[in-house]
Chain A
Amino acid sequence: MDLEYGPEYDAFRKHVRAFIEANSHLAPPSADRAARPSPEAVQWQKLLIEHGYTARTIPKEYGGFGAEPDILQSRIIAEEFSRARVPGGLANQGISMFVPTLLELGTEEQKRRWIEPTLKGEVVWCQGYSEPGAGSDLANLKTSAHVENDEFVINGQKIWTSTAKHADMIFCLVRTEADAPKHGGISYLIFSMNTPGIEVRPLKTMTGHAEFNETFFTDVRVPVDQIVGQRGQGWFVANATLGHERGMLGDPDALENRLQALIALMLEERMGQARAMDNPVLRDRLVALQAEVAAMKYNGMRILSNSLRGEPGGMAKLIVKLQSCELAHQISALAIDTMGELGILYHQSPRERDGGAWQWNYMFQLGLIIGGGTAQIQKNIIAERGLEMPREPKPGKSSDAGHQTAGLAQHKQGAD
């Protein structure tokens, strides 16, 4: 057990800290995740790339900083920005999911054309995966394309396309091979959101906001070379990005920050003369959550050490999405309980706390428990991949159904 990063990394940390101190006045307020980056955010992003605090390991020729991958350096950067409550680099779907996919599976031309403007926030992407009939069972997607004059002609509907309203481009799963089996008939297409035949309708959620959209395609024509990977390989290509999304939703620093906000709230809010913190039941719930957040933090350090040794994350990693989303939701729930009747205030009401953020979080985090692979799908993955339990027999399949052990789970992540 060695929790020291070593002198070289301590120096690096000082360096990062000095940068944040000197420049944090330039940082934009934390961004609305569904909106286009503001001009300040774009400037900030540029500055961060120049100093290697975002897009750190992406090669220079594609607009990144070009550093050798170093997990500890990346970790230190994340820690320091989180500690200072200063937004790090842009983390939209283009940067977090599409860019890694292109780096892994794109052609040289695609990398040169798309990565740099995406990193700089000049090109905003949305993700076209889920459909009304293809959520957890994502491979059941029905949006289809046939080829006419070297063009895909796309028809169908996507849902949960979060940035669609502001996006320039979409990376989209489309069934291009009508006769191929379920997983083998899908292609990963990229095209402009200005292409004729695309209609975006905001999807209002329980929060009262439209964080997502529905996107409809009617005879949308896309040149056949706007594809990542080969025709029919889209499922494989998409799985590369879904792995990145899972990482995105389980950030231990984010949990720690929410917990600190909850602690501050419980010390601040009064019930009569007493602080909310003086209520022994609320306090007990707080400490119980604190223990869980601590466990997830050290679990994260263990995953980090595993990757430093080149070992797979194993069970420690498989559980992160399920546990982190659940914990985040419980933190918000306790905050609302702490506020009592004040906890119901919303929609810019007088006496509302923190701009209604706790209620918004409480609802939105339920969305995160469902999205990015539902809690139930996560449990299938933990059971089948992590514990190697027998797979669910498929209806109408061979008689030894339910006797096979899962080598690779058939269930993949669904939703936005």
Chain B
Amino acid sequence: MDFGLSQDQQMLRDAVSRCLADICTLDHVRECAERGNPISDKVVRALHELGIAGMLVPEEHGGLGMTLLDATIVAEQLGYAVAPVPFLASHVLAPIALREAGSEAQKAYWLPKIATGQAHISVAISETIAARDGAAVSSAEGRLNGTALFSLDFEGADVYIVADAGGRLHLVGAGASGLEPIPLTTIDRTRSVGELRFDGAKAEPLADDGGTTTARLRDAGRVILAADSLGSGQAMLEKAVDYAGQREQFGRLIGSFQAVKHMCAEMAARHEPCRSLVWYAAHAFDAMPEDASLVACHAKSLTGEVHRFVARTSTEVHGGMGFTDLLGLHYWFKRIGFDRQVLGGPETVRAEAAALQGWTKAA
């Protein structure tokens, strides 16, 4: 019995944390965010040197064959540092999609490229959760038509993995004719999403498994977003505590006022149990598939709620400075906002959780 991170996992956490503390400074984040292209080549390279790219690629395809829990450790650190790098789709969802639904040829072709960083794959599955603006993708005879919104890790993608209306996944090259990729601009300038418009674009399907793999991607994606939120929330909590321990008003540190102290305590009290839930949800994804979808929903909804509270409360503890661009606190605030909305907000995933337990009356 050992509920927690192994020594290797703690070393991974420390290595990523040190690496990001050194090179992914707030100034660097700001520079990347303000130039419109959120990808920091410097941070991408440093993470590749740590082997992050191939974490979820099986060893026989040149990766490290690690677990989703390992990936959540990285995601948490990326959130903590508001790191402007692709990860969720390119290094988690894409390798899972390929390893679980790819043909031998697809695996052999793409997985090693993911592991070396030669291929950057964006993933679009939002329509399988809640389609907006009538977006939908249909597939017929190896061609896609329609629209997919919110393709994740969009910027710089060489290829897209797209779910059709039946939940089947397809690979589409970025240069395919009949594909128009359109960047979307979000509150969170440290990550990128885009819209894909298909007009008979040629696509290569992954296995027809009745949507099983797409469901796995939802679970994994939600856990990773929850972990990112955990890291961002941790950073915002620490920043609030630090600020309250430096700022003086009325001749006292504001952190000595109970009004401020209790805001921080409430953040900590709600934030801390999220960590165990995220770890458990990640572990369940690999080791307890029957529990995985439900706890992924719980992790996603709880972190969504708790870190919205943390984001606004930490901003308030910083007073007027929290509202300015000067401190850059808003990068974390927005990152948390992104994590909450993407792949199902709290109400959406709670409805799914209820359905998974048979609590929703059949219509």
How far does the Cβ of B280 sit from chain A's closest Cβ, in whole Å?
Answer: 4
Contact, CB under 8 Å: A1 / B301: no
Interface of A is mostly: helix
Chain A residues with CB below 8 A from B287, complex form: 1, 3
Q: What residue in chain B is nearest A292 (Cβ atoms)?
A: B302
Contact with A along B277-312 (1 / 0, CB 8 A): 101100100010000000101110110010000000
How far does the Cβ of B62 sit from chain A's closest Cβ, in whole Å?
Answer: 26
Q: What residue in chain B is nearest A6 (Cβ atoms)?
A: B1
Chain A residues with CB below 8 A from B256, complex form: 389-393, 401-403
Most buried by B among A309, A382, A389, A401: A389
State whether the Cβ of A206 lies closer than 8 Å to any Cβ in chain B: no
State whether the Cβ of A270 lies closer than 8 Å to any Cβ in chain B: no
Contact with B along A381-405 (1 / 0, CB 8 A): 0111011111111000000011101
CA distance A271 to B270 in the complex (A): 33
Supply 10 further A-B pairs (C-beta < 8 A) apart from A294-B280, A309-B2, A405-B245: A9-B1, A287-B301, A290-B298, A299-B275, A302-B279, A305-B3, A308-B1, A376-B262, A380-B261, A384-B261
Contact, CB under 8 Å: A301 / B276: yes
Chain B residues with CB below 8 A from A382, complex form: 265, 268-269
CA distance A292 to B350 in the complex (A): 12
State whether the Cβ of A108 lies closer than 8 Å to any Cβ in chain B: no
Chain A residues with CB below 8 A from B74, complex form: none
State whether the Cβ of B361 lies closer than 8 Å to any Cβ in chain A: yes
State whether the Cβ of A278 lies closer than 8 Å to any Cβ in chain B: yes
How far does the Cβ of B318 sit from chain A's closest Cβ, in whole Å?
Answer: 15
Contact, CB under 8 Å: A5 / B1: yes
CA distance A296 to B297 in the complex (A): 16
State whether the Cβ of B346 lies closer than 8 Å to any Cβ in chain A: yes
Contact, CB under 8 Å: A323 / B273: yes
How far does the Cβ of B164 sit from chain A's closest Cβ, in whole Å?
Answer: 29
State whether the Cβ of A109 lies closer than 8 Å to any Cβ in chain B: no
| Chain A contact residue count (CB 8 A cutoff) | 58
Q: Which of A15-23, A225-233, A314-322 contacts B (4 or more CB under 8 A)?
A: A314-322
Contact, CB under 8 Å: B3 / A403: no
Contact, CB under 8 Å: B277 / A294: yes
Interface size bucket, B side? 35 or more
CA distance A402 to B1 in the complex (A): 43
Contact, CB under 8 Å: B279 / A1: yes
Contact, CB under 8 Å: A387 / B262: no
Chain A residues with CB below 8 A from B261, complex form: 379-380, 383-384, 389, 392
State whether the Cβ of A2 lies closer than 8 Å to any Cβ in chain B: yes
Contact, CB under 8 Å: B264 / A308: no
Q: Give which listed residue, B264, B297, B299, contacts A389 with CB less than 8 A.
A: B264
State whether the Cβ of A4 lies closer than 8 Å to any Cβ in chain B: yes
State whether the Cβ of B96 lies closer than 8 Å to any Cβ in chain A: no
Q: Can you pick out 28 interface pairs between chain A and chain B where the beta carbons lie within 8 Å of each other?
A: A1-B279, A3-B1, A283-B351, A283-B359, A286-B359, A287-B351, A288-B302, A291-B299, A292-B273, A292-B302, A295-B274, A295-B277, A298-B277, A298-B280, A299-B276, A305-B2, A308-B2, A316-B276, A319-B269, A378-B269, A380-B265, A382-B265, A389-B256, A390-B252, A392-B258, A393-B256, A401-B252, A403-B253
CA distance A302 to B279 in the complex (A): 10
A295 with B265: in contact, given A6-B1, A288-B350, A308-B1 (CB under 8 Å)? no
Contact, CB under 8 Å: B269 / A322: yes
Contact, CB under 8 Å: B273 / A284: no
Chain B residues with CB below 8 A from A405, complex form: 245
How far does the Cβ of A137 sit from chain B's closest Cβ, in whole Å?
Answer: 14
State whether the Cβ of B353 lies closer than 8 Å to any Cβ in chain A: yes
Residues of B229-279 at the interface with A, using a CB-CB cut-off of 8 Å, are 241, 244-245, 251-253, 255-258, 261-262, 264-266, 268-270, 272-277, 279
State whether the Cβ of B182 lies closer than 8 Å to any Cβ in chain A: no
Residues of A363-388 at the interface with B, using a CB-CB cut-off of 8 Å, are 376, 378-380, 382-384, 386-388
Q: Give which listed residue, B262, B283, B302, B354, contacts A379 with CB less than 8 A.
A: B262
State whether the Cβ of A26 lies closer than 8 Å to any Cβ in chain B: no
State whether the Cβ of A275 lies closer than 8 Å to any Cβ in chain B: yes
A284 with B272: in contact, given A390-B255, A403-B253 (CB under 8 Å)? no
State whether the Cβ of A310 lies closer than 8 Å to any Cβ in chain B: no
Contact, CB under 8 Å: B265 / A383: yes
Chain A residues with CB below 8 A from B354, complex form: 283-284, 286-287
A298 with B3: in contact, given A283-B359, A376-B258 (CB under 8 Å)? yes
State whether the Cβ of A31 lies closer than 8 Å to any Cβ in chain B: no
Q: Give which listed residue, A4, A304, A305, A389, contacts B241 with CB less than 8 A.
A: A389
A residues bordering B, Cβ < 8 Å? 1-6, 9, 72, 267, 274-275, 277-278, 280, 283-284, 286-288, 290-292, 294-296, 298-299, 301-302, 304-306, 308-309, 315-316, 319, 322-323, 376, 378-380, 382-384, 386-393, 401-403, 405
B residues bordering A, Cβ < 8 Å? 1-6, 69, 241, 244-245, 251-253, 255-258, 261-262, 264-266, 268-270, 272-277, 279-280, 283, 287, 295, 297-299, 301-302, 305, 346-347, 350-351, 353-354, 359-361
Chain A residues with CB below 8 A from B295, complex form: 294
How far does the Cβ of A308 sit from chain B's closest Cβ, in whole Å?
Answer: 7
Contact, CB under 8 Å: B253 / A379: no
Chain B residues with CB below 8 A from A2, complex form: 1-3
Chain A residues with CB below 8 A from B346, complex form: 288
CA distance A314 to B297 in the complex (A): 27
A390 with B347: in contact, given A283-B360, A287-B353, A319-B268 (CB under 8 Å)? no
Most buried by B among A3, A291, A319, A382: A291
Q: Give which listed residue, B1, B266, B270, contacts A72 with CB less than 8 A.
A: B1
Contact, CB under 8 Å: B258 / A4: no
Chain A residues with CB below 8 A from B251, complex form: 402
Contact, CB under 8 Å: B360 / A402: no
Chain A residues with CB below 8 A from B265, complex form: 322, 378-380, 382-383, 386-387
CA distance A286 to B297 in the complex (A): 13
Q: Give which listed residue, B5, B298, B347, B359, contacts A291 with CB less than 8 A.
A: B298
CA distance A254 to B2 in the complex (A): 22
A3 with B351: in contact, given A288-B346, A315-B272, A379-B262 (CB under 8 Å)? no
CA distance A388 to B361 in the complex (A): 49
Chain A residues with CB below 8 A from B302, complex form: 288, 291-292, 295
Chain A residues with CB below 8 A from B262, complex form: 376, 379-380, 383
Contact, CB under 8 Å: A1 / B283: yes
Q: What residue in chain B is nearest A266 (Cβ atoms)?
A: B359
Contact, CB under 8 Å: A284 / B5: no
